[in-house]
Amino acid sequence: MIVIVGGGVSGLAIGWRLAQAGQNVTIYERNKAGMESTWAAAGMLAPQIEAEYGEEMLLPLTMASRKIWPDFAKELEAETEIHIDYRREGTIQVSLNRDEQEQLDHRFSFLSRNQLEVEKLSAYEVRRLEPHISRAVTGGIYSPQDHQVDNRALALALKIALQKAGGILREQSSVEEIVIDEGCVTGVIVNGDKITVDHVVVAAGAWSRNIPGIPEISRPPVRPLKGQMLALEMPENAPLIAHVIWGPGNSIVSNVYLAPKSDGRLVVGATVEEMGFDKRMTGGGLLEILRSAWEVLPGIYDLPLIDSWSGLRPASRDDAPILGKSGIAGLTYATGHHRNGILLSPITASEISSYIIEGKDSNLISSFGVGRF
Amino acid sequence: MVSTALESGLQIAGKTFNSRLLIGTSRYPNQQVMLDAISASGAEIVTVSVRRVSFESGGEGLFDLLRGKYQFLPNTAGCFTARDAVITAELASEALETKWVKLEVIGDEETLFPDVEELLKAAEELVKKDFVVLPYCNDDPITCKKLQDIGCAAVMPLAAPIGSGMGIRNPYNLRIIREQCSLPLIVDAGVGTASDAALAMELGMDGVLLNTAVAGAQNPIRMAKAMKLGIQGGRLAFESGRIPRKLYATASSPSEGMADL
C-alpha cells in the first residue's frame, strides 16, 4: 500500500495518478483536503511572469508542467464534470513609473534571453488590452501562455477524481509518525495504530519538516512563507479585467497580482512574510495589497470586498520543489513547491507516480532531489 | 623589505575580520542563492533585519541558516525616530544575542536619507547601553566626526541612496571624512558594481557594506565574488600607494642608448 501524507493539490494529484495506475493508495490529511495552501493560492499557471534571476534551473520543470496543463484540465473535467475555469487570456505585467519601467525592461531582456514567449507592450497597448488599468501605466510585458485556473475548484475536482479512481482519502487523520526500520519505511502511525505500508509520499507542504519519525538529517528543508490575500467582487457581465495583471508591489508585497475568475471574483495578493506558522491577517497586509492593487487598477475602489485569507507557501531553501528520493527506502518527497504548487501539480503527479511505480526518477526531476541541499 | 602580505584585516570593536565586505541578507531570489552568494563574497559580517520576521521557522528560517557561521549585524531599518531605533536595537540584541547594531534612522521614505538629529540621539543612547554601534549616515564630515566622538565603533557614510546602485557620488567628501576620522569607515549604500567597491577602498575606506548590488544582480553569486575581488584589489591599491596623475606621457621604456640612425 502507498500512503500519501497531506491532501493538498500535490498529494491529491499524485494519489489520483497512482489510483488510475491501479495502485492501492490512501491519503491522510490532518484537516480537510485542499484547504491550506491549495485553497489560499491564486491559481496562476505563470512560469514566465514568475521566473526570477538565479532560478533558471526551475524553468524546464515549470514549463513542462504548463505544457501538460491543458490536457490535465480537460481530463479532470471530463472525469468529474467539475468546471475548473482554465483561462487562456494570459498575463500582463505592468509598470507605473520610470523606475519601474526600467525594472520591467530589465525583466523583459531576462525573459527574452531565456527564450520565453513574451511581448513588449507600450502604455497604449496595455490600455487597449485592459482599458481599466491606471492611466499612469508606462508599459508592460505580455505573456500569452501564462494561464490560470480556479484552484479551489481544482482541489474539489481532484478529490472526486481520486475517489472515482479507487483512491482513499482520510480527512481529519494525522500521520503521527512515519515508522522507519533500518533505513527503510515500514509503516505509519495513525490514531495510535501502526499501518503497514510499502511506500510513503510526504506531500505535507509547509508542515513537511515536522513529521515525526524522519531523522533530522533527512528532513526536507521547507519553511512556511506567509501570504495574505483578498477577493473583490467584479460586476456581473462587466469584469474589470480579463487577463491576470501583475504590478509593482511595496514593502511586504513584492509584486501585486490581480487574477479575475469567471465567477466574478477578483483574487488579489499577496504578501510575502517570514512569520513562521502565524497565519493571522494584519492591517498592514491588507493595506499594502489594496494600495498596490489600487495603483494598478483604480476601479477596484468601489468593488465589494468579499473575502480575505492567508496561507503558508511551502518554501524550500532554493524555492524549487523537493521531488523524489529522500535517502530512505520507501520514502518519497513531493514538497517545497513554494508559489508553484498549482502550476506544478500535473508534472508532480505524473513524475512522482511513475517514480514510485518504476523505481527510478526521470531526467526532469532528478535535479530536484533533497540531496541537492 | 616592503611587505608583500595580502591586504590587512578589518578591525572593529577589538575583533579582526579577514574580509572587508559586510553583506546584507535581503532581496535575494531565494535562501540558497543568499547562502551561496554570502559564501562567495567571503563576508564574515551579515546584516539582518529583525522587523516583521518570526524567529520560529522550525530550523529553516534565515537566522537558523546563518547562526554560528557569521557575525550578525542586526539593523534598525524602517526606524524613523531615535526611540524606535533604540527599541529595535534592544529587541534584536535579545533575539540574536549580540550587542552589535547597524544603526539606521531614516528621515524620508523616498530617498531613505538619514535623519541626522535622531541618528545622533540614538547613537548616544545605544553607546551608553554598551552597544557596538555602526551608524549609517550621510557623507557629511561633521556628522561622521560627531558619531566618532559619541563613541561609535565605526562610521558608515553612504556613497549614494540605498539601493540606487549609483556608485561613489562624492569621492571628495569621503576623502575629507577619511582624513578627519580615525575610526573604521565603511561605505554603506550606493555601491552598484565591483568598480564602485574598489573605488571606495582606494579612497581609504576600511570596508564596504552592500546588499542590493549583489542580491539584485542577474547572477548574485558571481557578483558576490566580483565584489570580494573588487574590494581586495581596491584595498591593495590603497595600501600600495598609487602614482601621481600627470597630464603628459612618461615613457616606461628607456630611450637612452638607442642607435642614432
Q: Which of B102, B121, B146, B225 is catalytic?
A: B102
pLDDT at B54: 75
pLDDT at B2: 46
Chain A residues whose beta carbon lies within 8 Å of the beta carbon of residue B58: 209-210, 223-224, 276
Nearest to B54 among A52, A252, A276 (CB): A276
Specify whether A332 is located in the same domain as A186.
yes
Task: Cell numbers for B58, please give them.
Answer: 522550525
Domain that holds residue A298: 91-147+224-316
pLDDT at A56: 86
Query: Domain of A27: which CATH number?
Result: 3.50.50.60
pLDDT at B261: 72
- Our count of domains for chain A comes to 2
Given a cut of 90, whether residue A53 has pLDDT beyond it is no
Q: Which residue has the cell 514568475?
A: A50
In a domain, B85, yes or no: yes
In a domain, B5, yes or no: no
State whether residue B28 sits within 8 Å of chain A by CB: yes
Q: Which residue has the cell 538529517?
A: A217
Domain that holds residue B233: 15-240
State whether residue A105 sits within 8 Å of chain B by CB: no
pLDDT digits (tens, 9 = 90+) for A313-357: 999 999 999 999 999 999 999 999 999 999 999 999 999 999 999
Query: Domain of B71: which CATH number?
Result: 3.20.20.70
State whether residue B217 sits within 8 Å of chain A by CB: yes
Given a cut of 60, whether residue B6 has pLDDT beyond it is no
Specify whether A55 is located in the same domain as A160.
yes
Chain A residues whose beta carbon lies within 8 Å of the beta carbon of residue B29: 52-55, 319
pLDDT at B57: 65
Query: Domain of A233: which CATH number?
Result: 3.30.9.10
Helix extents (H) in A21-143:
37-40, 59-80, 98-113, 123-129
Closest residue, chain B, to A271 (C-alpha): B52
Distance from CA of B57 to the nearest CA of A (A): 5
For this complex, say whether ipTM is above 0.85.
Answer: no
What mean pLDDT value characterizes chain B? Answer: 90
User: Is B129 among the catalytic positions?
Assistant: no
- Our count of domains for chain B comes to 1
CA angle B35, B27, B90 (to 5 degrees): 85
Best probe of the A interface among B27, B32, B56, by most A CBs < 10 A, is B32
In a domain, B248, yes or no: no
Q: What is the mean pLDDT of residues B220-245?
A: 93
Given a cut of 70, whether residue B111 has pLDDT beyond it is yes
Q: What is the mean pLDDT of residues B187-202?
A: 93
Chain A residues whose beta carbon lies within 8 Å of the beta carbon of residue B54: 274-276, 278
% of chain A exceeding 90 in pLDDT: 91
Specify whether A141 is located in the same domain as A155.
no
In a domain, B36, yes or no: yes
Which pTM was predicted?
0.87
In a domain, B77, yes or no: yes
In a domain, B230, yes or no: yes
DSSP code per residue over A91-124: EEEEE-SHHHHHHHHHHHHHHHHTT---EEEEHH
CA distance A231 to A250: 19
Specify whether A212 is located in the same domain as A228.
no
Q: Is there a contact between A53 and B218 (Cβ–Cβ < 8 Å)?
A: yes
Q: What is the mean pLDDT of residues B65-85?
A: 92
Specify whether A133 is located in the same domain as A156.
no
Q: Is there a contact between B149 and B180 (Cβ–Cβ < 8 Å)?
A: no
DSSP helix/strand/coil, A250: strand
pLDDT at B5: 53
Given a cut of 70, whether residue B1 has pLDDT beyond it is no
H or E element at residue A354: helix A341-358
Q: Is there a contact between B217 and B29 (Cβ–Cβ < 8 Å)?
A: no
Q: Is there a contact between B188 and B136 (Cβ–Cβ < 8 Å)?
A: yes
In a domain, B254, yes or no: no
Specify whether A96 is located in the same domain as A238.
yes
pLDDT digits (tens, 9 = 90+) for A18-48: 999 999 999 999 999 999 999 999 999 999 9
Task: Cell numbers for B179, please give them.
Answer: 582624513
Best probe of the A interface among B28, B30, B55, by most A CBs < 10 A, is B30
Q: What is the mean pLDDT of residues B56-71?
A: 84
Pairing of strands A139-143, A91-95: antiparallel
CA distance A190 to A176: 6
Q: What is the mean pLDDT of residues B231-239?
A: 93
DSSP helix/strand/coil, A193: strand
In a domain, B183, yes or no: yes
pLDDT at B109: 85
Task: Cell numbers for B133, please give them.
Answer: 554601534
